[in-house]
């Protein structure tokens, strides 16, 4: 759990929110994300079956999202959450996510303790900085980033 990154996200008032998104569908590359929202709202998380849930902005609360690194390290027991942000036609919004990450030089893979019962690894070992580079190399694409670490069995 070696590195942290803080974003300051500002979403200005959008005259036609139906034509765009604030942030496209993605999962975070972190282990956990701790997110402070303001009172405006706009964050949606994806439930089962393509169902999008609006995360209500509760004053003073923190939203905790599971990220891809934790999904890899837990061999899929914890699933990173796909999310996106919609803009608002009448109010601007600010959010402050703190991403709690492995160190760039860490190699991450399913933890030995998780595989101790004989469970097969679903993910291979990846250098965390390579994983992050892969994420930023492309446009947001839902949960596809994690395929980078998947073991393909033929
Ligand atoms: O603004 C939000 O509520 C979420 C921001 C986000 O998903 C991100 O910065 O990765
Ligand atoms: Fe995010």
- The DSSP bridge partners found for residue 99 are 5, 33
Q: Could you tell me the distance, in angstroms and rounded to a whole number, from the CA of residue 98 to the centre of ligand 1? A: 10
Segment holding 71, helix H or strand E: helix 68-73
| Dihedral (CA of 112, 114, 115, 120) sign | negative
pLDDT digits (tens, 9 = 90+) for 114-134: 999 999 999 999 999 999 999
Q: Is 83 in the pocket of ligand 1 (CB under 6 A)?
A: yes
Lookup: tokens for 39? 């009172």
Domains of the chain: 3-149 (2.60.120.330)
Per-residue pLDDT averaged across 22-44, rounded? 96
Q: Is 69 in the pocket of ligand 1 (CB under 6 A)?
A: no
pLDDT digits (tens, 9 = 90+) for 76-95: 999 999 999 999 999 999 99
Q: Is 29 in the pocket of ligand 1 (CB under 6 A)?
A: no
Question: pTM for this structure?
Answer: 0.95
Q: Identify the residue whose C-alpha is closest to ligand 1 atom 10.
A: 28
Segment holding 135, helix H or strand E: helix 128-136
């Amino acid at each position: 759990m070696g590195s942290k990154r803080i974003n300051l996200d500002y979403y200005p008032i959008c005259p036609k929110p139906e034509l765009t998104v604030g942030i496209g569908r993605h999962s975070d590359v972190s282990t956990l994300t701790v997110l402070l929202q303001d009172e405006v709202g706009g964050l949606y998380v994806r439930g089962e079956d393509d169902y999008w849930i609006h995360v209500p902005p509760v004053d003073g609360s923190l939203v905790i999202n599971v990220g891809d690194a934790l999904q890899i390290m837990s061999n899929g027991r914890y699933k990173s959450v796909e999310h996106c942000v919609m803009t608002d036609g009448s109010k601007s919004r600010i959010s402050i996510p703190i991403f709690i990450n492995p160190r760039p030089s860490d190699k991450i893979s399913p933890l030995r303790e998780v595989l101790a019962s004989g469970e097969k690894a679903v993910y291979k070992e990846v250098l965390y900085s390579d994983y992050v580079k892969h994420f930023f190399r492309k446009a947001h694409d839902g949960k596809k980033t994690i395929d980078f670490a998947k073991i393909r069995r033929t």
